[in-house]
Amino acid sequence: MKADKVLEILRLHIPADAVAYCFDLWKSSPFTLKLTRSRQTKVGDFTSRRTKSHPQITLNHDLNPYLFLTTYIHEVAHLKVYLQFGSRVDPHGEEWKTTFTELLVPLLWENVFPEEILHELRRHMINPKASSFADTALTQAFRKFDKNAHQFAILSDIPEGSIFKLQGRYFKKGKLRRTRVLCRELQSKRDYLVPADAQVSDVQFSLL
């Protein structure tokens, strides 16, 4: 992937004061950086594409700048760990936690993140989780800066039995199972486990 294309993506999607640092990370270990459609189950991922010479990181195109930046660093940490250890270690084990922390700490300043996010992110990085969405307080801080946040509800905030729209389909909310909710898709009558922090729309609240 050409350097100018990577730099263009970074300039468009992350805070200006973080661009040079993130571009240097790419230059030190180049990878394909790809923007994708919005995905409810994940905001980014890293794949080795079978060989260390063709790694790829994908990021949802519609993330706010602060979540885009944090996810970028999260996935670059996966790349760094993979280049050093291959597939011999836990994807979100101690090696990844250490690397993620080392890469993100230089960005934890007021000129990069708003105070609301910075406070929660500094706390989160004491023991980072596999997904920032597993940290409710951090998720709420990030979502304050989503452009269309007012159009959505959080699945965990609506009553059981409510009908909601997700990715063009309608579901009925069921029981919470740890970090996911068992929901029934109305047309197919099939059950799906949906992340509790998923953003949903067109909510029809249950009266039960």
Which residues contact residue 203 at a Cβ distance below 8 angstroms, ignoring those fewer than 6 apart? 153, 158, 162, 163, 164, 165
Q: How many domains does the chain have?
A: 2
Domain shared by 36 and 25, yes or no: yes
pLDDT per residue over 63-94, tens digit each? 999 999 999 999 999 999 999 998 889 989 99
Domain shared by 157 and 73, yes or no: no
pLDDT per residue over 8-35, tens digit each? 999 999 999 999 999 999 999 999 999 9
- Chain centroid to Cα 91, Å, comes to 15
Taking the model in full, what pTM does it have? 0.77
Residue that finishes a domain, picked among 116, 131, 149: 149
Which residues span the domain enclosing 192? 152-204
Residue that finishes a domain, picked among 134, 149, 164: 149
Domain shared by 88 and 188, yes or no: no
